[in-house]
Structure 1
C-alpha cells in the first residue's frame, strides 16, 4: 500500500501529528511518503513540492487578456489578489489564521501523487487548490480536519470571542459585512469544487469536530470517522519529577504550573485568562512555567520561569514530568497535542470545557475542567487542583492515555480505514 500524506509545512501542531502518523506507518511496513509545500527539516521519506505552474484553460487565458486590456485603459484598478492581501492586512491580529481556497499549486502533477494508492490530506491551507485538486483527483482521499478551515469560509476557527474584558470574561466578536461576503465566496468556491466528489472520507480528531462537520449542510454528506492523534509512548512517558526539575533548573519546593507560551496574542489561545487567573492567586508557593517562543509576555514576574522553545521531544517529556499540572486555557480547540503529551507523561491537565479537551480530560480523574470560560473560573479550578489534585494517580493517567492515544492505536485505526477505502467497502461511522 502506497500512502501519500499531504501537509503545507513540517512544523506546528498539525504537522507534528502528520509526521508522527507517517513515522508510525513506516514502522508498520506501509510505503508512506509526505508531500510538503515548505520544508525546514530533513525527515525520512518527506519531500517538498517542486513548483509547477498550473496550466491555464482557454477561458482563463481569455479572462487574463481582458483584465490586461481593462487595466491598460484604466477601467480595472484593483486586482483580486490585492484585495486578498488588503483583507489579511486589516484582519485583527488577535484572530487565528485565515486562508483562501485557491492556490497556484497543483499537487496532482507531483510524481508522489501519481504513484500513491491513497491520498491523505492534513493541514493543507495555502497549498491545496480546491478547484484543481478535486477536479483532477482520481484516487481515494482521506482528509483529517485539524481545524475548521476545510469547511469554513476561510477561518481556521470560527471564533465567537475577541479579547477579554476587565473582569476576565471573553468579549463577543462582531463579524463585519465584508468578512461575511468573503466567507460566502470562499464557501461557494469550495462547494463548487467538491460538487460530485464521492471518493472523500473525513477524519475528525474528536467528537466536537465530528459534530461541527455534521452541522455543515454540505460536508455532512461525506462519511466520517473519529481517529484521535497518537504519540510515541516510549518518548512521552512519566519520568522522575525531581530529576526532571533538576535537569530544567526548576525549584523542588514549589508547585509548578506548566503552559505553552506560543501565540499569546491570539484570543483563542486564552493566554490572557491564564495570566489574569495567576495574578489573582498571588501564591508564593506556585511557579508558572512556560514553554514556547513568546515567553516574554510575563517578563518581570518573579513567580514566572520561561524555558523558551523546546524542539526535542525527550526534553519536552521531562518538562511535563516536572510539572504538577499542565494548563491549557484555549477558548476553542480541536485535539491539542500538548494535552496528549501531558497525559502520556502522567501529568494532569486543567482546561476550559471546549472542543476535544472535553474528550481528553475526565474531571477529577486525569485533570479538571472549569465550570465557565473566564479567568475567575480558571483560578478556582487551579486552586481546587492544588487542594485536591495531588491525589491523582499519574501512572493511571498515563495507562489510560495509552489506550486511546498511543501511536500504534492511531496507526491501526488508519490502516483499517485505508484498507476499507481501497477495498471499496463502507465504513461504519460513530
Structure 2
C-alpha cells in the first residue's frame, strides 16, 4: 500500500509525531513517503514540497496578527505550495494522510481531494482544521457554528475566521478525521465541520527503543543535578507558550517551599525553547534549552523523578508520552488528552484544572511516595508503542480502501 503523509515540517511536536509514524510504516513494509514544507532530515523518503513557480517561502504560514487580542496562532487555509506537485502525490498514492499541514496544503486542495473516491485521512495535532483558523479555541465554542464573532481577532484584522470556516463548510466533503485524544475527537464531532464526518481516535505512539530509561543518578550528575534531591521536569517545545502553563509554576514553587516545607529540597529541570522568566522561581533551576537529539532527550527525561505538566489546553503532548516511556511519572492538570493516558497511582496523578494547590499536593504525593519507574515503563510498553499505533492506522487504511 502506498501511503503519502503530508505535513509542515519533520521537526517540532507535530512534525516528529508524523515522522516517527512514517518511519514505523516503512519498518512494517508500507510504501510510505512523508512530504513536508520544511525538510531537515537526510532521508530519501522525506520529500520537500516545492513552491509555486515564482514564489519562495510560503507567505501564509502561522501568523499572530496585530489585531488579535490574545496570543492564539491562526492559519488562513491558503498555501504557496505547488498544487500540480501535490496532485501528483495524490495520484500516486493509495491513501493520503494529512498531518499538521495548514501551510503545505490549502483548503482548495483539501476540497478537491475530499470530493474524490480515494481515502483522505487527517490526523489532527490541534483544532486548526475544524475552526476558522485558530489552533486552539481557548474555551471558545463558536467553531460549533460559524466562528462569529471571534473573541481572538479584532474587528480590523485581515484574518476573518467566519470566511475561512464558511469556505471549508462549502468545499470540504469526505474526510476521515483521526484524533490522538478523546478530548479533541469530541470537539471534532461537535464542530460544524466535523459533525457529519467519520471521526476516529488513535493515540500517538512512542519509539520505545529511543525513549527508554537510563540510570537516574548518572543522568542527574550529567546535568549537574544533586542526585540526593528529587528532580521535577517541566518541558515543552516552547516553554513560554501560554498554553503550557509556566505562569502556574511560581505559585506552585512557593506552595512547595512554604506550605510543604520543601525549600532547597528539590530541583527543577526545564527542557525546551523559549525564554520564560526563571527568576520568578524561588528554587534550584537547571535549563537545557531545546534538545534536538532524541536519545539525549531520553537521557534528560531519565534525569528526572517526576514530569510536571500544568498545561492549559493541549491534545496529547509528546513530552507526556516520552516521559512515560522513560519510566517517569507525570503530574498534570486534567485537561485535553491527559485523562486518556495518565492513570492515577500507576503512572502519575491528575489535578483539577487549574487548581495549583491540588497540583502541588499531587506533586508532593509523588515525591513522598514515588511511583515505580519500572511499572511506568511496563505500562508504556503495553499502551503507547508506536508499532501498535501504526498497525491501527494500517487497519484503518485497509478498511477505507475497500469500503
Alpha-carbon shift at residue 9 of structure 1 (Å): 1.4
Bigger CA drift: 272-281 or 121-130? 272-281
1:357-404 superposed Cα distances (whole Å, 9 cap, x missing partner): 11111122211111331433322222232223x1x1221211112222
Alpha-carbon shift at residue 50 of structure 1 (Å): 1.4
1:131-189 superposed Cα distances (whole Å, 9 cap, x missing partner): 2332256331110011001101110000139xxxxxxxxxxx95466379822111101
Report if aligned partners of 2:239, 2:272 keep a CA contact under 8 Å in 1.
no
Q: Does 1:239 align with 2:202?
A: no
* 1:385 aligned residue: 366
Distance 1:289 1:184 in 2: 42
Distance 1:293 1:218 in 2: 33
Which one of 165, 170, 178 corresponds to residue 187 of structure 1?
165
Report if aligned partners of 1:343, 1:349 keep a CA contact under 8 Å in 2.
yes
Bigger CA drift: 300-309 or 148-157? 300-309
Q: Does 1:15 align with 2:2?
A: no
| CA 1:85–1:46: 2 relative to 1, 3 Å | closer
| CA 1:203–1:281: 2 relative to 1, 3 Å | same
* 2:133 aligned residue: 154
| CA 1:374–1:10: 2 relative to 1, 3 Å | same
Alpha-carbon shift at residue 307 of structure 1 (Å): 1.6
| CA 1:188–1:362: 2 relative to 1, 3 Å | same
Normalising by structure 1, what TM-score? 0.82
Query: What SS class does the counterpart of residue 417 from structure 1 fall into?
Result: helix
What is the 5 A alignment of 1:314-325? Answer: 314-325=295-306
Which one of 373, 379, 383 corresponds to residue 394 of structure 1?
373
Query: What SS class does the counterpart of residue 24 from structure 2 fall into?
Result: helix
What is the 5 A alignment of 1:30-429? Answer: 30-53=30-53, 88-92=65-69, 95-107=71-83, 109-110=85-86, 111-135=88-112, 138=116, 139-160=118-139, 175=152, 178=155, 182-194=160-172, 197-198=173-174, 200-260=175-235, 262-282=237-257, 283-294=263-274, 297-299=277-279, 303-388=284-369, 390=370, 392-424=371-403
Bigger CA drift: 98-107 or 415-424? 98-107
Alpha-carbon shift at residue 223 of structure 1 (Å): 1.1
Alpha-carbon shift at residue 15 of structure 1 (Å): 0.5
Report if aligned partners of 2:63, 2:73 keep a CA contact under 8 Å in 1.
no
Alpha-carbon shift at residue 251 of structure 1 (Å): 1.4
Alpha-carbon shift at residue 267 of structure 1 (Å): 2.2
Query: What SS class does the counterpart of residue 20 from structure 1 fall into?
Result: helix
Report if aligned partners of 2:72, 2:152 keep a CA contact under 8 Å in 1.
no
Alpha-carbon shift at residue 250 of structure 1 (Å): 1.8
* 2:146 aligned residue: none
Structure 2 unpaired stretches of 5+: 141-149, 258-262
* 2:29 aligned residue: 29
Report if aligned partners of 1:287, 1:304 keep a CA contact under 8 Å in 2.
yes
Aligned-residue RMSD, C-alpha: 2.6
Higher helix fraction (1 or 2): 1
Alpha-carbon shift at residue 346 of structure 1 (Å): 1.1
Alpha-carbon shift at residue 415 of structure 1 (Å): 0.6
Bigger CA drift: 129-138 or 236-245? 129-138
Distance 1:86 1:254 in 2: 42
Structure 1 unpaired stretches of 5+: 55-80, 162-172, 425-430
Report if aligned partners of 1:351, 1:370 keep a CA contact under 8 Å in 2.
yes
Report if aligned partners of 1:108, 1:133 keep a CA contact under 8 Å in 2.
no
* Higher alpha-carbon Rg: 1
